[in-house]
Structures are given as C-alpha cells and as structure tokens.
Amino acid sequence: MIKKECQTCHNQFTIIDQEIDFLKKLDFPLPTDCPKCRKEKREKLVDKPFYEEVKCDNCKKEILIWHKVEPNKQIFCRECFRKLKHEGKLDRPQPGYKEGIPFFEQLKELHKQTPIVGTDIYQDDEVNQKTLRSHECSYTTNTIDSFDLSKCVNTVNSQHLINANNCVDCTNSMATENSVGLVSSYRCNNCSYLNSCFVCDNCHYCDNCEDCQNCFACSGLRNKKYYVFNKKYSEKEYKAKVKELSRLPHNELIETIKNFKNTLPLPESRRHQNINDCKYTNEVFNCNGCFYAFESRNVNNSGYLWHSEAIKNSWDITTMARRVNDSYSCSDMSYVENCYFSSRLFDSSNCYFSHDLYKCYNCFGCVGNSNAKYNILNKEYSQEDYNKIVAQIRDEIGLHYSEE
C-alpha cells in the first residue's frame, strides 16, 4: 500500500496492493491523481448530454452533433459519411507517427482533423413515429432529447436507458416501464420520482428502496407494502392517505416530503446479492473482489468503477461500460479487452489512447477507426513496425511501471 499526494487537488490518496499488482503486470506507472480527479478527467473524454442542430457539409441535411466542435471541422450525416468513405472521397487524416514531435501533440492534432458523424433527425408522420435529438437508439418510438437508448417507447428527456417504455425524465435507469422522474433505478414499474430504487412497483417520491410495492414518500425501506412516510397502513388507509397528500399543491408536497426525509439518518451502503470481498461499494450486484465500485453489477477483481456491468480484472472504468476485461482508465465502451486510456470503443482489443473505435485490434492513438489493426495515429503498419514504434512511444511518454 502506497500513499501519495494528488497532483491536481493535492489531497492524500492511497494506492492499494491489488491496484499496484495490476499496474505492475501491465508495466504502467502508478497514478499521480486521486481516484476522484482521475474520474473527472475520464469523463471529459465522454460526450455530455449536449446537442446542437447543424447541417451536413455534403448534403446540407439537418443533423445533430454531440460535440462542441471547433470552427472548420468537417461534419457529415451517417449516409454521406458511409458514401464518401466507400467512394474513397472522404478526407480522413492518417498521419502516422512522426519522430521528433511529442506523441500527445500529434494525437491532439488528429482529434482536431477527424470528421464528426452526426445523428439524423428522423420523423415519419405516416406511422406516427418521431425520434428527435436522440443518440445511439434502438427500436425507438416518439423519443425526444434522449441518449444511449435501447428498445424504448414514448421516452422524453431521458438518458442511458435500456428496455424502457412510456418513461419521462429518467436518468441511468434500466428495465423500467410507465414511470416518470426516475434516477439510478432498476426494474421499477408504474413509479414516479424515485432515486436509487431497485425492483419497485407503484412507488412514488421514494429514495433507496428495494422490493417495495405501493409506497409513498419513503426512504430506505426493504420488502415493504402500503407505507407512507415509512409508516405501515392497511390498503384502504394507504389509498386514502395518498389521495389526501396528492391534493396538496405540488411545491407544498415536495417541501413536506423533503422535511420528512431530512429527519432520517443517511441510508446504509447497499450491497445486493452474491457480494464477496467488496469494499467501499454502493448499489453493486453479483460482485466479487470489488473495490470502490458504484452502480455496477457482475464485476470480478476490479476497482474504481462507476455505472458499469460485466467487468473483469479492470480498474478506473467509468460511465456505461459493459463487457470489459483486463482494461484500465477507460470510459463508455462495450465488448472490449486489453484497452487502456481510451473511450467510446466497441468490440475492440489491445487499444491505447484511442477514441470512437469499432472492431479494432492493436490501435495506438487512433480516432474514428473501424475494422482496423496495427494502426498508430490512424495509419496502418506491419506488425513488426507497429510493435517497434509502440515501444518507442511508451518510452517517450514514460508508460512504464514507476512508483514516482
């Protein structure tokens, strides 16, 4: 165990033995920032809920972009991007590595030059379907101002949803139906205004509740039914009490609930189902050997995780990561292994310092590639030259184990 001072916030932090062994095996230096500052830096690499309507540089169609772009940067709709790429007319930078210029300066320039692919604004009045300002959607109907959705119907102003139906203003919620105003909740149906609730039905204005039904303005309950303000009622009494509270003006109701919850102690950390050898966790499920993990499930021998699922032997993984193995310091990726210091990767392996890759293998400092292998700064090399240059770059940037 090693204690260090964070170079960003100057607070003391501890690097545990499990993390040290992990980094030694990868020949990576020990972190110089504390976990909180590392997380904040990773999150800057991932697009925030932001959109802007612009025109495709080729066909002039209105599209959405999810980046705050610099002037003169190329922007295309998906159709034009595919067409231009197929015809060999797409001006995509493939600079490769140039000796004598710092690697990170070259990577920064590649990010500036790489075109952005926008999202179509789709509307079909004949079938009464509308998908507006949405991002990475599947089977979506009447979806507006949403992000990272899958199989969603009638969803408005929502983020990071999976299998949602008739939901409004729900954030980081999964397997949810007919609900409004849910935050970080899972399998909650016919509910409204929940925060960090798990498997609840017909519950409203509740925090940190699990396996509850027909609860109103409650906090920290487990396996309860017909509760109001954490007090048990009969079914008839419950319905009468909820009806009485519902007659209050909304602002007065919210203030009443807030005052009640302020009288309660802070909820205990939640550790659900098959948790073994886990420390400093909250809202984790089916996890073994986790350290400092939050809102994560099916994790083995990993640490410093946020909003992650099916993670194995990985550290510093943030924001909607799924099926990640043997990786470090990554954000927003699925089905990857042996990837490091990267974001927005899908079905890729052995990638370093890369962003927005699809089905890539052995890429170092690449942006926007698909089906590529042995690429450095978007240029393809032979396997021998790739390994030689990567070793040279690692020496240049000091990517070797060190306790300094």
Residue 379 lies in a domain: no
Residue 272 lies in a domain: no
Phi-psi region of 130 (alpha: psi -120 to 50; beta: other; left: phi over 0): beta
Q: Which residues contact 151 (CB under 8 A, 6 or more apart)?
A: 138, 139, 140, 162, 163, 164
Residue 186 lies in a domain: yes
Eight-class DSSP state of 189 = B
What's the rounded Cα separation, in Å, for the pair 194 and 183? 6
As for how many domains the chain has, the answer is 2
What's the rounded Cα separation, in Å, for the pair 43 and 330? 9
- Residue ending a domain, among 230, 262, 294, is 262
Residue 194 lies in a domain: yes
Residue 6 lies in a domain: yes
| pLDDT number for residue 137 | 46
Contact 5, 15 (CB under 8 A): no
| pLDDT number for residue 152 | 53
Determine the Cα angle at 252 with ends 249 and 253, to 5°.
85
Residue 203 lies in a domain: yes
The answer, as to whether pTM is greater than 0.75, is no
What's the token pair of residue 222?
Answer: 């487990």
| pLDDT number for residue 404 | 65
Residue 226 lies in a domain: yes
Contact 397, 103 (CB under 8 A): yes
Residue 228: which domain range?
Answer: 148-262
Residue 56 lies in a domain: no
Lookup result for tokens 């170079």: 7
What is the mean pLDDT of each successive set of 10 residues along the chain, which is 404 residues long?
89 89 90 87 62 81 72 80 78 82 90 77 43 45 47 49 53 59 74 82 87 90 91 93 89 89 65 67 79 82 85 86 89 90 90 91 91 92 94 91 73
| pLDDT number for residue 229 | 93
Ranges assigned E (strand) in 49-142: 52-55, 62-65, 75-76, 116-117, 119-120, 122-124, 129-132
| pLDDT number for residue 145 | 46
